[in-house]
Every structure is written in structure tokens, then in C-alpha cells.
Amino acid sequence: MAAATQRQFLPMPAALSSRAARLEPFDWYREMRTEAPVRYDDDRQVWDVFRYDDTKRVLADTESFSSDVARADVFEFPDEDLFRPLQRSILRSDPPRHTWLRDVVDDQFQPGAIGALAPHVREIADELLDERLADGEMDVVEDLAYPLPVIVIAELLGVPADDRDRFKQWSDVLVADVSAAADPQTIIERQEETIRELRAYFEDLIKQRRAIPEDDLITHIATTDPDGHRLTDEDVLGYCILLLVAGNVTTTNLIGNAIRCFDERPELYDELAADRDVLAAAIEEVLRYRSPVQALSRVATTDVELRGETIESGDLVVTWLGSANRDESQFDDPDEFQPERRPNQHIAFGHGVHFCLGAPLARLEARISLGRLLDRAEGIQCVAEERPPVSSSFLHGVEQLPIRFESV
Ligand code: HEM
């Protein structure tokens, strides 16, 4: 359906262009689920899918809906070589390539392997909290939710955690909502520049690890031959960049969003602090209620009928996880934050073969960091009324979240 247009990014829907709508997109989702659950947006030349069942169907059917979105008719990349490591990464690959790419690190990210990191993650959380607790105030995002996941993924990969300010800059630029910028071209140029810098940063490390292996993920990715498929330098590079960015931007928003949710129900704090199972269930509800990743994209590989609409081969499709997770046909009282909700079959980590590789790590990091904050601080209150939303067309969270508390 889409006419070929030269475009490298996916714009936000007009309905979500304001700050207020990005902080609370849920009324719009509800309207869309009722009035236009599968709709073509002429402005963006994209199909939007809002309901839970439809979203799962699209994500499960990798034959009809490819993750290799660069091949959608609406996109055209002037410098394909530059972006290729990311476009050919596991996130953007379909089976069978996806299957063997996933095998490379699947074992490393299983709950058992990740569980072994708990004592060290706790140490990192405590060190970060030590720096701020005596003040009785901190910024949950800047002081805890951002540094913790980035230190952990940097250590796992084998890159210096001290470079984390650069990682943040790079990640922020790569996920930025280009369509919201006054000058999109400048952001596109910064994205290109960022990829060049990331390439330079990792290319050297990959060479070093191939020459002198170490006990880290870069070495593992660079030296494993899954099923006899040798990873090219570009494959390794794409993996490293993806893990760094995915480990950077998503868990941060989960932790920040958790505090936003708990702030709506402060009477819960004592119970959350006293019982780790209650906290774990509450984090699942945060994932549903304020899903850190709100949208995923796919491209149709064939004409597909969905809810009476015909999606044509080559069309871009956006599935709204943030809306699916509020679908009234799946969840009772979906617009209420209910930490005790069971069952809670949210799809905040996606669905099907691309189900988030980092889910066990994200859960561990959220449970430990929030658990330690609640152990060590009482009477937590968010203090700022104005909360800047993260600048991204698919992430949900805030850039800053100052809180006040009493240190215990
Ligand atoms: C995939 C969400 C944390 C690494 C995904 C997908 C979602 C998601 C929705 C599916 C993408 C798709 O189907 O197109 C989240 C959320 C997180 C989180 C909400 C935190 C709360 C992490 C972390 C890592 C990670 C910490 C790694 C350190 C990945 C990778 C994939 C992925 C590598 C691609 C998997 C594949 O294609 O098979 N994530 N993620 N994620 N995530 Fe996460």
C-alpha cells in the first residue's frame, strides 16, 4: 500500500506527538482498540495493530511478518553498509538465521546463569545507593535506574563500565524519536556518526578478543560457531551494539516506571519492602501497566488479512505492546495498577521467537535495585510534577525522576 518514500525512521503517530500523550498514551490506545484495532495511518504509511490477540498473531507468524523491517517499501537507507550490522542483528533477523544467532548467547542469558549474578548486582545497587542515601533525595533514573543496568551489561560484555556516559549518549541517539525533532536531518546525521563511533569502539575490541580471548561476552560471541555458522565481524559488531543498547535503555525505564506506579499506590510500600514475592509480582504488573517497550515493528512478506483489513506485502506494521497489555478482553480492569494481578500474561517482553533474550537479566536487575532501595529508604515520594518523557518513538519512561525519602 505504501508508495516508496525516502525515509530512514518510523515517525510517532500524530496522536502521540505531545509530551502529555507520550507520558499517558493509554486513552488513545483504548479508543483505537475499540474504533480502529487494525488501521492504516496515511501520514506515517504504516499499519497499527492495537489488540492483544492480533499483536500476538503478528509476532508469532514470522513467515508473514518479517523482523527485517529495512526491506519495507517506506524505507530507504542512503548508506546501507553503515547500518548493516544492526539491520542484520538477531533482532532484525528471521528464522533460520535468527535461530542460530540466538543459539550464540542463549545459554548465557538463561535464568540459571543470570541468577548467579545476583550478589554482584546487589553490590552495584548498594554502591550506587551509598552515594545518594544520606542526602534524603536522589534521581531514581540518573542515580540508579540508568547506571545499574549499564554497569552490568558493560561488565558482561567486557567493556569498561567507566565509559558509561558515552554508552548513554550513543544509546540515546540511536533510540531518539527523529520525527519529534525540529531538525530530523541533524538527528539522522548524529545517528550515522554514532554508528561510526560504535563501530570504531567495538572493532578494536573484537580484534583484541579474537587474538587474546577473555572470559567475557565479546570473546564468546566472536569465537563461537553456532551450528557451524561462523559469525562475520559485522555479525559480532551488531550483537555487541544491540546488547549494549538493549541493556541500556529498557531496564532503566522499567525501574523508573516502577517508582511512578508505586507513587500512585504509596500504601503498598511496606508490603513491597517486606516480601520479595510481592515485589516480583508488582514488577510484572509494572511491565504490563507501563511497558518499557511500547511498540514493535514488522514488515509483511505476503498479503495478509487481519480483522477484515488487507495488509499488503511490503507494508510496515507496528504492533502496540503498550496497548495489547491494556486490552480489556485479556485483562480485568486493565487501566488499574494491580500488583497482585494473577495470571498476568503481559507481552512486555514480546512474543514468539524474538521473546526478549534479556528478560531474566532485566527482572533480576529490577528486583534487586528496587528491593535494595525499599530496604534502605522509607517514605519514598516523587517530588517533581513535570516529568520529561524519554525521546523515543517506541520506549515509555521518563528522563528524570527525583524522589525524597528517609534513609533507614
Ligand atoms: C528482544 C523488551 C531488557 C536484549 C526484546 C523484545 C522486547 C524486549 C519487546 C522483542 C523484540 C521483537 O520482537 O522485535 C525488553 C524489555 C526489557 C528488556 C521491556 C527491560 C525491562 C533487555 C536486556 C537485554 C535485552 C537487559 C540484554 C542485555 C534483547 C535482545 C533481543 C530482545 C538481544 C532480541 C532477541 C531476539 O531477536 O531473539 N526485548 N527488553 N533486553 N531483547 Fe529485550
Per residue in 198-216, pLDDT (tens digit) is 999 999 899 999 999 999 9
Residue 389 has pLDDT above 80, yes or no: yes
Q: What is the pLDDT of residue 293?
A: 97
Mean pLDDT of 102-112: 94
Mean pLDDT of 4-14: 70
Q: What is the pLDDT of residue 4?
A: 42
The closest-lying atom of ligand 1 relative to the alpha carbon of residue 149 is 26
Ligand 1 geometric centre to CA of 322 (Å): 15
Residue 33 has pLDDT above 60, yes or no: yes
Q: Is 358 in the pocket of ligand 1 (CB under 6 A)?
A: yes
Ligand 1 geometric centre to CA of 246 (Å): 6
Confidence of residue 5 (pLDDT cuts 50, 70, 90): very low
Q: 3-state SS string over 10-63?
A: CCCCHHHCCHHHHHCCHHHHHHHHHHCCEEEECCCCEEEECCHHHHHHHHHCCC
Phi-psi sector, 72: left (phi>0), alpha (psi -120 to 50), beta: beta
Q: Is 255 in the pocket of ligand 1 (CB under 6 A)?
A: no
Q: What is the pLDDT of residue 230?
A: 81
The closest-lying atom of ligand 1 relative to the alpha carbon of residue 253 is 21
Q: Is 350 in the pocket of ligand 1 (CB under 6 A)?
A: yes
The closest-lying atom of ligand 1 relative to the alpha carbon of residue 351 is 13
The closest-lying atom of ligand 1 relative to the alpha carbon of residue 350 is 9
Q: Is 242 in the pocket of ligand 1 (CB under 6 A)?
A: yes
Q: Is 47 in the pocket of ligand 1 (CB under 6 A)?
A: no
The residue whose CA is least distant from atom 2 of ligand 1 is 349
Q: Is 254 in the pocket of ligand 1 (CB under 6 A)?
A: yes
Q: Is 348 in the pocket of ligand 1 (CB under 6 A)?
A: yes
The residue whose CA is least distant from atom 15 of ligand 1 is 349
Lay out the sheet containing 38-41: strands in order across: 38-41, 46-49, 316-320, 295-300, 65-66
